Amino acid sequence: MHERARQTNTRAIEDPDTALVHRIGQGDQVAAAEIVRRHLSKMVALARHMLGDASEAEDVAQEVFMKVWQNAGRWQPGKAKFETWMHRVAINLCYDRLRRRREIYTDQMPERADEDSPGPDQSIMDAQLSEQVETAMMQLPPRQRAALSLCHLQDMSNTEAAHTLQISVEALESLLARGRRGLRKHMAEFAPILLER
């Protein structure tokens, strides 16, 4: 009985990307294109929510797939899904960019929605709300932003997100709680502005 439990715990994680990663490790460009097709939108979305910049997000996604190409031959399946590793790489690349931003401070404001563009009032309010949420996300510390992005935007379970961030589930839940409080606080500051329009 004890032996069966140990075997269950050490069983390799089923990973739908394992065969592709093996082929990429052998230089298969068709497999590389398929892994990009499967995961590009997730990598771009994660980086965009971490960095608040679409262009930088695309750069990060390209860097992730370069690392996939470079490291696929060394991948050891079983401990985690390859997609989890890719998320971790993307987050680390975003952290690097955020650190560089702090070193070279710029006072550029995020792009504002064009309030003069034609369209119904609702679409303007939706654009403003979306902008305010994005601005509020950028006010959070990077680790809280990463936790919220993985769980709420990438639809990862708490366990998967914790593994990606290399922290315990309890630590992840703490980051999520603090991140949600921070978002509520920042959004409360914007609420009067939104109600005036």
Report the interhelical angle of 18-25 vs 54-71 (nearest 10°): 70
pLDDT value of position 79: 77
125 pLDDT more than 80: no
Ranking 144-148, 149-153, 189-193 by mean pLDDT, the lowest is: 189-193
pLDDT in tens, 33-60: 999 999 999 999 999 988 988 999 999 9
For the chain, the C-alpha Rg in angstroms (whole number) is 20
Cα separation, 176 vs 162, in Å, equals 11
**CATH for 119-197 (3.40.50.1460, 1.10.10.10, 3.30.565.60, 3.40.309.10):** 1.10.10.10
Residues of the chain with CATH 1.10.1740.10: 13-108
CATH topology of domain 13-108: Rna Polymerase Sigma Factor; Chain: A (1.10.1740)
pLDDT value of position 59: 94
Residues of the chain with CATH 1.10.10.10: 119-197
pLDDT value of position 103: 67
Instruction: Name the residue with higher pLDDT: 140 or 191.
Output: 140
Q: In this structure, are residues 176 and 147 in contact, taking their beta carbons and an 8 Å threshold?
A: yes
127 pLDDT more than 70: no
Cα separation, 31 vs 44, in Å, equals 20
pTM exceeds cut of 0.75: no
Instruction: Find the DSSP H helices in the chain.
Output: 2-10, 18-25, 29-51, 54-71, 82-103, 121-139, 142-148, 158-165, 169-196
2 pLDDT more than 80: no
